[in-house]
């Protein structure tokens, strides 16, 4: 979810394993500030922009010989953010169906990740991290919106069929405590390389 530590962990894992990081476009997204000011007006634009960016990332990954780590997956767009906005009335039926059509077409051309890492966080933990990093456009995110996203993450992760690692990010401080980061890398080694099983 927003504020769970995705970018920090991506950065650290990329450095640890010598993987190439791919980050979600936040700083240069032309819709993000408008979206947080008027979610119903800008939902379709923002989500379609993210979808195009994530699909481009997947195309780049498919052409790469190296190992890539992303801080967000293309699947989150449809299963979490778009579904949440649709249920909240921020997306029309027409826009929702058009988005799904685009998503399904794109997914027919790419494969799922070798490992999906889910950073499980409570809403209070997310709020604390969002306040700490101080992005002005995020300060108006409502608790209901974050809670709705969290519920969708839990539901999606509960039915995810691929290789999955769940990390309780409320109880870990992987940025400041090396032993917490080692817990995560030990689990990744076990999942990807068959160690410590």
Residues with catalytic annotation?
Answer: 71
> Contact at 8 Å (CB) between 177 and 128?
no
How far apart, in whole angstroms, are the C-alpha atoms of residue 68 and residue 38? 34
Beta strands (DSSP E) in the chain are 20-22, 68-70, 116-120, 164-168
How far apart, in whole angstroms, are the C-alpha atoms of residue 188 and residue 83? 29
What angle is formed at CA 104 by the lines to CA 98 and CA 109, rounded to 5 degrees? 135
What angle is formed at CA 121 by the lines to CA 151 and CA 170, rounded to 5 degrees? 155
For 171, the enclosing helix (H) or strand (E) is none
């Amino acid at each position: 979810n927003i504020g769970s530590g995705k970018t920090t962990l991506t950065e650290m894992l990329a450095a640890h394993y010598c993987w190439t990081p791919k980050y979600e476009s936040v700083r240069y997204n032309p819709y993000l500030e408008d979206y947080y000011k008027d979610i119903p007006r800008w939902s379709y634009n923002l989500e379609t922009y993210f979808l195009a960016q994530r699909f481009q990332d997947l195309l780049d990954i498919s052409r790469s010989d190296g190992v890539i780590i992303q801080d967000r997956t293309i699947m989150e767009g449809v299963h979490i953010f778009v579904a949440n906005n649709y249920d909240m009335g921020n997306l029309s039926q027409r826009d929702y169906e058009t988005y799904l059509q685009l998503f399904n077409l794109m997914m027919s051309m790419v494969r799922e990740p070798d490992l999906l890492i889910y950073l499980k966080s409570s809403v209070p933990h997310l709020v604390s991290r969002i306040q700490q990093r101080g992005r002005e456009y995020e300060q108006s995110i409502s608790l209901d919106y974050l809670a709705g996203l969290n519920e969708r993450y839990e539901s999606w992760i509960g039915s995810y069929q691929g290789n999955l690692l769940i990390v309780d990010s409320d109880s870990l401080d992987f940025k400041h405590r090396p032993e917490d980061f080692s817990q995560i890398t030990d689990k990744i080694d076990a999942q990807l390389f068959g160690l410590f099983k």
